Amino acid sequence: MKAEIISIGDELLIGQVVNTNASWMGTELNLIGVEVRQISVVSDTDEEIQRAIEEAMKHAGIILITGGLGPTKDDITKKTLTRMFDGKLFFHQDIYEHIQILFRVKGLPFNELNKAQAELPDICEIIPNEIGTASGMLFRKDGKIIIAMPGVPFEMKHMMQNHVLPLLKKEFHLPFIIHRTIMTTGMVESELAEKIESWEDSLPSHIHLAYLPRPGIVRLRLSAYGENRELLEEQIAHETARLNQLIPELIYGYDDVLLEEVVGNLLKQKKKTIATAESCTGGFISHLLTSIPGSSEYYTGGVVAYAYEAKEELLGVKHSSLVQHGAVSECVAKEMAEGVRKRLGTDYAIAVTGIAGPGGGLPNKPVGTTWIAIASAEGSKAKLFRFGNDRARNIRRAATATLNMLRLELI
Amino acid sequence: MKAEIISIGDELLIGQVVNTNASWMGTELNLIGVEVRQISVVSDTDEEIQRAIEEAMKHAGIILITGGLGPTKDDITKKTLTRMFDGKLFFHQDIYEHIQILFRVKGLPFNELNKAQAELPDICEIIPNEIGTASGMLFRKDGKIIIAMPGVPFEMKHMMQNHVLPLLKKEFHLPFIIHRTIMTTGMVESELAEKIESWEDSLPSHIHLAYLPRPGIVRLRLSAYGENRELLEEQIAHETARLNQLIPELIYGYDDVLLEEVVGNLLKQKKKTIATAESCTGGFISHLLTSIPGSSEYYTGGVVAYAYEAKEELLGVKHSSLVQHGAVSECVAKEMAEGVRKRLGTDYAIAVTGIAGPGGGLPNKPVGTTWIAIASAEGSKAKLFRFGNDRARNIRRAATATLNMLRLELI
């Protein structure tokens, strides 16, 4: 069964909002064996919405629409759908009361715009929105299903998980698409492609490989298409195992697992604790570590030492080291790691000092120069990296490299 | 002039990569007066790529394509375009040498797959890619322009800024679309809509308003369409000024300025310094502050104090305060702010302690309970916030609320 996703909103076309909804929906639909054929983003106008729905209905059996269901005047999806499918708006007292309760719980003032959200077309099946004010709507025409959902991400996700996905699984006979993503770090795309070429060439024709690079990371995605789920899973497992023999040191996990989660799990397994000392990454590594629920089990805390004084006062870096070698140096990186480890009494500590840019580069230390250190009971060691010119990418790459150094230390 | 964006790649359809390219392109095209009519995401197959291009050519004069130009086997955009426009691949020695140099500079091994990137269709104008190996291609047909660019974000952006946007400005007579985004924080969408209803109703018909909510923030976007740029700018400025009289305390800036940038500019203007002490936000606030180039001018450093020991050892929080009032309390928030301010000798310090979730909630302190404190020479003050249940959203909302408290303190 094929689906198309239609995302409605001028804010998406002029780039003020990134279409994360469609990505999330694509992932979830694929997991249940619904192939997303196209994602289309169109503006909040009656004719564009109608045209996109009509076009999608030519090619797909499931049309999922998000956006344009809000209480304000620029939201017109409900009106267009009501007109397209020859319905009339009908006031629902129960939904009205649900909306009022939501406002009361959140302590927000209720107004007439919100009341209008209880009016819904009489020719649709209503999909409840337990956590928001805009109900979902399901229309049926020519054996196809058209579903409209709110564009607020957490409301849409809740509606998909609790109502839409279960409904699709029940109504359609779905084939299987199995994906497996192999997460690698430490080698660029073209070098990796050459290294695994013979393996890639030997893949059966119903298993497809894609390279998905990110700063510091290349994800390899295998997709297998067929009718027999067990057989596909076996084949994917077999091909994954063959790849693992080829590049064991580069693989840090599977299926979009985050490096910070892998590192967190290793720390938990080994009952070890970690502290951080960051200069150029400015707290990004501690943010990544603490974005994982339960990270307080192994993450004690850290220091963001931007200025010299912070490095001295909070980490005990020697003034002489800073003056003689500069803040971006092997010895300062090591002293930072040792300093925070000592103060917080953790098993390990990681430290980063570098020049993220755009300013601050020197002839012998251009923007991108970064020292990363790890301290443990056995002492400390540091490694030099040379990243690029882009501040945001440098911060991200330094964080990835730091977490990977810690991973290699832990395994 | 209307444009359509076609993003190619299975990874976008199955949601493993978020389509940030299309958002960025939408923003840039709008700024030069090119209206993006539709964004379509299609898979890496010959027939889907052809169908999407043909469909787009029915409605738009400019078709911008990204993705599928890489060196690996799943990249087929170049082949499809060569076939569609009846061309042949031709080997370019100069591009071959450029690719070799790129590999040498980066110290990466060169292989045959990369050599094939120097083969380009003979019926296109080549758009140079100074920073990458995949050249851009421009095709002309029936007065329309079709441009293919690499999908790697920084290569695509470089190509757009240096070649594609200047070319479009030169070749087309472009009307004007002026956007102004007013950034607000402190009031939810529906309440805000009611408060500014009379202003919204009085807007002229060629000026359109959209509400764009984010966690803790509502952006109000005004779009004016017309031929006379100066007149449009005047009208937008007039309407913005009227809105500013209505809700002065809620507006923190314009045109997608980041709250951390506004705060940074205020600190620079007033020559004040800041330090951070974070518990539940885990370094996210320091990451936001340091993501701004030049932040070392006002940001000295900070502490991420996750465990009790970190709060005591690095911030000097009293053990008795933690035991008597708990880590999430008014007095601990204040002691954290005062502690980091004293140790780093800054003018201001901000501190956050809360329960981000999903675990850690208590009957009298449910998940989302958050204390935020500010310390300055005049002492410290703290405020209680109650956010929701989602960890990632709580971290984001707490960071926004903290930065906004600092902003209100500074103005």
Residue of A290, A21, A278 whose CA lies nearest to B399: A290
Find out whether the peptide bond into A175 is cis, omega within 30 degrees of 0. Answer: no
pLDDT at A211 over 90: no
Q: How far apart are the first and last CA of chain A?
A: 43
- A373 sits in which H/E element: strand A369-376
ipTM above 0.85, yes or no: no
Question: How does pLDDT run across B327-386, given as a tens digit for each residue?
Answer: 999 999 999 999 999 999 999 999 999 999 999 999 999 999 999 999 999 999 999 999
Instruction: Report how far residue A73's alpha carbon sits from residue B151's, in angstroms, rounded to the nearest whole number.
Output: 36
Is there a shared CATH topology between the B176-254 domain and the B259-410 domain?
Answer: no
Of A188, A287, A307, the CB nearest to B301: A307
Residue B157 is encoded by which pair of tokens? 């952006």
Do the chains contact at A190 and B74, CB–CB below 8 Å? no
Question: How does pLDDT run across A236-252, given as a tens digit for each residue?
Answer: 999 999 999 999 989 99
Do the chains contact at A304 and B301, CB–CB below 8 Å? yes
Contacts 24+ apart (CB under 8 A), A341-345: A341/A275, A341/A375, A341/A376, A342/A316, A343/A275, A343/A314, A343/A315, A343/A316, A343/B313, A343/B314, A344/A275, A344/A300, A344/A301, A344/A302, A344/B307, A344/B309, A344/B310, A344/B313, A344/B314, A345/A300, A345/B309
Residue of A67, A64, A92 whose CA lies nearest to A77: A67
Instruction: Report how far residue A76's alpha carbon sits from residue A68's, in angstroms, rounded to the nearest whole number.
Output: 6
Residues 224-253 (A) with a CB less than 8 A from some CB of B: none
Inter-residue contact A195 to A231 (CB < 8 Å):
no
Chain B residue with minimum CA distance to A394: B291
What is the architecture, at CATH level 2, of domain A176-254?
Answer: 2-Layer Sandwich (3.30)
Do the chains contact at A26 and B48, CB–CB below 8 Å? no
Instruction: Report how far residue A55's alpha carbon sits from residue A353's, in angstroms, rounded to the nearest whole number.
Output: 53
Do the chains contact at A301 and B285, CB–CB below 8 Å? no
Distances (CA, A) of B126 to A73, B84, B119: 45, 17, 11
Number of alpha carbons in the 13 Å side-chain half-sphere of residue A219: 19
For the sheet with A274-278, list strands across it: A379-386, A369-376, A348-354, A274-278, A299-305, B299-305, B274-278, B348-354, B369-376, B379-386
The chain-wide mean pLDDT, for chain A, equals 93
The string of DSSP letters for A257-305 reads --HHHHHHHHHHHTT--EEEEESTTTTHHHHHHHTSTTGGGTEEEEEEE
Residue A16 is encoded by which pair of tokens? 């003020």
Do the chains contact at A18 and B19, CB–CB below 8 Å? yes
β-bridge partners, A349:
A275, A375
Query: How far apart are the CA of A206 and the nearest CA of chain B, in angstroms?
Result: 14
Helix (H, G, I), strand (E, B) or coil at B132: coil
Inter-residue contact B365 to B280 (CB < 8 Å):
no
B48 interaction partners in chain A (CB closer than 8 Å) = 37-38
Residue of B270, B9, B33 whose CA lies nearest to B156: B9
Contacts of B58 (CB under 8 A, 6+ apart): none
From first to last of its 411 residues, chain B has per-residue pLDDT tens of 899 999 999 989 998 889 999 999 999 998 788 999 999 999 999 999 999 999 999 999 999 999 999 887 778 999 999 999 999 999 999 999 999 998 887 777 777 788 889 999 999 999 999 999 999 999 999 999 999 999 999 999 999 999 999 999 899 888 778 889 999 998 888 889 999 999 999 999 999 898 888 888 999 989 898 888 899 999 999 999 999 999 998 999 998 899 999 999 999 999 999 999 999 999 999 999 999 999 999 999 999 999 999 999 999 999 999 999 999 999 999 999 999 999 999 999 999 999 999 999 999 999 999 999 999 999 999 999 998 888 999 999 999 999 999 999 998
Backbone angles phi, psi at A224, to 5 degrees: -120, 130
Do the chains contact at A23 and B30, CB–CB below 8 Å? no
Do the chains contact at A15 and B37, CB–CB below 8 Å? no
Instruction: Report how far residue A342's alpha carbon sits from residue A153's, in angstroms, rounded to the nearest whole number.
Output: 43
pLDDT at A175 over 80: no
**Full 3-state SS string of B152-182:** CHHHHHHHHHHHHHHHHHHHCCCCEEEEEEE
Do the chains contact at B18 and A13, CB–CB below 8 Å? no
Do the chains contact at A22 and B41, CB–CB below 8 Å? yes
Residues 320-379 (B) with a CB less than 8 A from some CB of A: 343-345, 357-360
Domain assignments of chain A as residue spans, ordered by start: 2-171, 176-254, 259-410
Distances (CA, A) of A91 to A118, A129, A151: 6, 16, 22
Residues 3-22 (A) with a CB less than 8 A from some CB of B: 9-20, 22
Residue of B62, B75, B226, B59 whose CA lies nearest to B160: B62
Instruction: Report how far residue A47's alpha carbon sits from residue A77's, in angstroms, rounded to the nearest whole number.
Output: 11
What would you measure as the largest C-alpha separation in chain B, in angstroms?
Answer: 79
Residue keyed to tokens 């004016």: B224
Question: How does pLDDT run across A89-105, given as a tens digit for each residue?
Answer: 999 999 999 999 988 87
A17 interaction partners in chain B (CB closer than 8 Å) = 23, 212
Report the Cα B316 to chain-centroid distance in Å. Answer: 37
Inter-residue contact B133 to B139 (CB < 8 Å):
no
Instruction: Report how far residue A394's alpha carbon sits from residue A163's, in angstroms, rounded to the nearest whole number.
Output: 42
Residue A218's pLDDT is what? 93
Per CATH, is B2-171 categorized as 3.40.980.10? yes
Instruction: Report how far residue A315's alpha carbon sits from residue A306's, in angstroms, rounded to the nearest whole number.
Output: 11
Do the chains contact at B15 and A38, CB–CB below 8 Å? no
CATH code that applies to domain B259-410: 3.90.950.20
The mean-pLDDT minimum among A192-206, A349-363, B58-72, B214-228 falls in B214-228
Instruction: Judge whether B313 is closer than 8 Å to chain A, CB to CB.
Output: yes
Residue B385 is encoded by which pair of tokens? 């916030």
Residue B200 is encoded by which pair of tokens? 């919204």
Instruction: Judge whether B283 is closer than 8 Å to chain A, CB to CB.
Output: yes
Local confidence band at A366 (pLDDT 50, 70, 90 cut-offs): very high
Chain B residue with minimum CA distance to A213: B152
Question: How does pLDDT run across B152-173, given as a tens digit for each residue?
Answer: 999 999 999 999 999 998 998 8
Length of chain B: 411
- Eight-state DSSP code of residue B38: E
Distances (CA, A) of A121 to A9, A82, A84, B202, B270: 21, 6, 11, 30, 56
Inter-residue contact B219 to B184 (CB < 8 Å):
yes
Instruction: Report how far residue A53's alpha carbon sits from residue A75's, in angstroms, rounded to the nearest whole number.
Output: 16
Instruction: Report how far residue A295's alpha carbon sits from residue B310's, in angstroms, rounded to the nearest whole number.
Output: 14
Report the Cα A405 to chain-centroid distance in Å. Answer: 22
Residue keyed to tokens 């997303």: A36
The string of DSSP letters for B359-373 reads S---SSS-TTEEEEE
Question: How does pLDDT run across B120-137, given as a tens digit for each residue?
Answer: 999 999 999 999 999 999
